[in-house]
Structure 1
């Protein structure tokens, strides 16, 4: 499905504390071979709760974009892991802490595809707004946030999953139905779509009974255990790999076609912040060969940001020189369940001069 919306602001907030792969090897959390396969030099590992980081990202994005808080009418927050309270709405906390008191907050759970899911919901909310709907100062805006913090004893960020290290951090993007006057770069969202293969949801629960309270079955999350049980039952990774490659290939091709952009016009293709081995399992073969020279992965100093990779990659496209004004990029991501998403964006320069 084609979309037209504009990312007029964004932010990534990472805690200052850092853990290195070298330290993880020295402490025995991972082997030296595992550390080399990750393709990660370090990750951020802080002490602040995830929603606090998300609220900071939302405030930063709004301030940099010059957005009046009352213009934000929708906020969708995504996460993969614990948000600090057992029975609570982190989206409402983020909205309140960011000053978005006129918005309707929603939390969404779609594992590591959550950022893309939050983005899609925001786009749909903007498109569904009645003609002429606007808040003081301009059209209604929508905000998508993510935040995850993998500290504590319940999740081993280095060893809890195969070939993946999880870094703490929060992301935010601000969406407008029109190209607002901005002092910084914007992204025109030309197409956004998702595809799912729900038969693979068992990869994250295989062999475990349903529990009635958190951590009833295990003191810490052990993704390796459920994946190992799933692939033992299914006879290996071939079925999943074939389904992933087919689905991602169709998804990316459909998004490019929907955007009306030639495949050779894509200057950068942003992949999720996963290890080379995981990218090879799902993404590398699925990507059109003409796009392979454009592949880009920003994992080295952040690791995998849980639900945040997709939005962090949009922020990277806005803030860096990877794209020149007018150029196009693909952002591709996915998450357990399984769901994959792709977006086609065009970078736009500032529409008002910087003061």
Structure 2
């Protein structure tokens, strides 16, 4: 077997900010937003509910991650902010707001829109930016996500099939060096994505193009467009087959590029989706030898929109799920459709790379 690849970048700081208020699945049943059978399929006990705008949560996550990384504002070259839903203003750049609120006024902000794969897409861009850092220039890239699904425009429990959307923000800070004086780092050995754009209509089927937000419906109704899409295409079989093949090839390729073996992967982090959705796309796609390593942190967060991928990296970095020196796989995806995977190694303060 070849030696493990050299990391393209290192996650030296991370944070997840979840609002203190929560809603339980039982509350959703009692209010009639979901049925008891739907509650059982979700695999979620409660989710966090924000009373402040998503970009403020993102800025808080960025400040927390920077503190944990020991990152000074003048070290940050880029900030990439991803989201799936409304950020509080109609004609505006939330990335610039997050950068200013977090104190990174010398960086170049960028907003990323790739639905629920947005965090992974932003991470991919940030890794490339870090790799191309000019000696002597600011070297850090900050990636944030934030989504809040409250108000009348989105029913977090009922707008989509078998998915509950929780509010929260995430952040990771990338460096070209593994500066681990402030805690563990994650070396990013390989990161890749695969897209199948023929499925973009799943989120618009049956609807004309509108000219203003919510011109077609007062609230987001993913169930309606998915139902129309699958009725036209004859069911979910084609999508499932393409998803399984694509994710399988993606995961195998990332592990191969990282230069590690299947048996070296200690944890495989899945997106924070219901068991039914994971079964539709991921369960058969991932090598059966990885089955004992599968891990999903959905129970008290639900699906964090664009944030699942980065939240899972934070979980790997700041908990004991994997030990120093061990490898983990992070897998995610989003409507459009795009799927991403990363192979990382946890590096503690005294852990040399092997």
Q: TM-score range by the shorter chain?
A: over 0.9
Query: Which whole-Å CA distance do the structure 2 matches of 1:37 and 1:8 have between them?
Result: 36
Matched, 1:133 2:136: yes
Match of 2:237 in 1: 238
Q: Give CA deviations for 1:202-258 in whole Å, capped at 9, x if unaligned.
A: 000000000000000000000000000000000000000000000000000000000
Match of 1:7 in 2: 11
> Aligned to 1:94, what secondary structure does the other structure show?
helix
What are the equivalent positions in structure 2 for 1:156-167 lying under 5 Å apart? 156-167=155-166
Q: Please state how far the C-alpha of 1:125 moved relative to its aligned partner.
A: 1.0
> Aligned to 1:284, what secondary structure does the other structure show?
coil
Q: Please state how far the C-alpha of 1:127 moved relative to its aligned partner.
A: 1.8
Query: Which whole-Å CA distance do the structure 2 matches of 1:351 and 1:151 have between them?
Result: 44
Matched, 1:30 2:34: yes
Q: Give CA deviations for 1:27-78 in whole Å, capped at 9, x if unaligned.
A: 0000000000000000001111000000000000001111111100100000
TM-score (norm 1): 0.96
**For the aligned residues, what is the CA RMSD?**
1.2
Aligned 8 A contact 2:142 2:174 in 1: yes
Aligned 8 A contact 1:2 1:258 in 2: no
Query: Which whole-Å CA distance do the structure 2 matches of 1:153 and 1:197 have between them?
Result: 31
Corresponding residue to 1:110 among 95, 114, 128 = 114
Match of 1:282 in 2: 281
> Aligned to 2:299, what secondary structure does the other structure show?
coil
Query: Which whole-Å CA distance do the structure 2 matches of 1:117 and 1:351 have between them?
Result: 31
Match of 2:292 in 1: 293
Matched, 1:101 2:113: no
Aligned 8 A contact 2:7 2:187 in 1: no
Question: Are the structure 2 counterparts of residues 174 and 280 from structure 1 closer, same or farther at C-alpha, using a change threshold of 3 Å?
Answer: same
Query: Which whole-Å CA distance do the structure 2 matches of 1:319 and 1:123 have between them?
Result: 20
Query: Which whole-Å CA distance do the structure 2 matches of 1:7 and 1:126 have between them?
Result: 11
Query: Which whole-Å CA distance do the structure 1 matches of 2:223 and 2:6 have between them?
Result: 37
Match of 1:39 in 2: 43
After TM superposition, which residue ranges in structure 1, 4 or more long, deviate above 6 angstroms? none
Aligned length: 347
Query: Which whole-Å CA distance do the structure 2 matches of 1:166 and 1:232 have between them?
Result: 25
Question: Are the structure 2 counterparts of residues 116 and 2 from structure 1 closer, same or farther at C-alpha, using a change threshold of 3 Å?
Answer: farther
Query: Which whole-Å CA distance do the structure 1 matches of 2:242 and 2:182 have between them?
Result: 43
Aligned 8 A contact 2:115 2:305 in 1: yes
Q: Please state how far the C-alpha of 1:126 moved relative to its aligned partner.
A: 1.3
> Aligned to 2:209, what secondary structure does the other structure show?
coil
Question: Are the structure 2 counterparts of residues 227 and 347 from structure 1 closer, same or farther at C-alpha, using a change threshold of 3 Å?
Answer: same
Match of 1:54 in 2: 58
Matched, 1:345 2:331: no
Query: Which whole-Å CA distance do the structure 1 matches of 2:199 and 2:136 have between them?
Result: 41
Matched, 1:77 2:76: no
Query: Which whole-Å CA distance do the structure 1 matches of 2:114 and 2:93 have between them?
Result: 16
Question: Are the structure 2 counterparts of residues 3 and 251 from structure 1 closer, same or farther at C-alpha, using a change threshold of 3 Å?
Answer: farther
TM-score (norm 2): 0.97
Question: Are the structure 2 counterparts of residues 64 and 3 from structure 1 closer, same or farther at C-alpha, using a change threshold of 3 Å?
Answer: closer
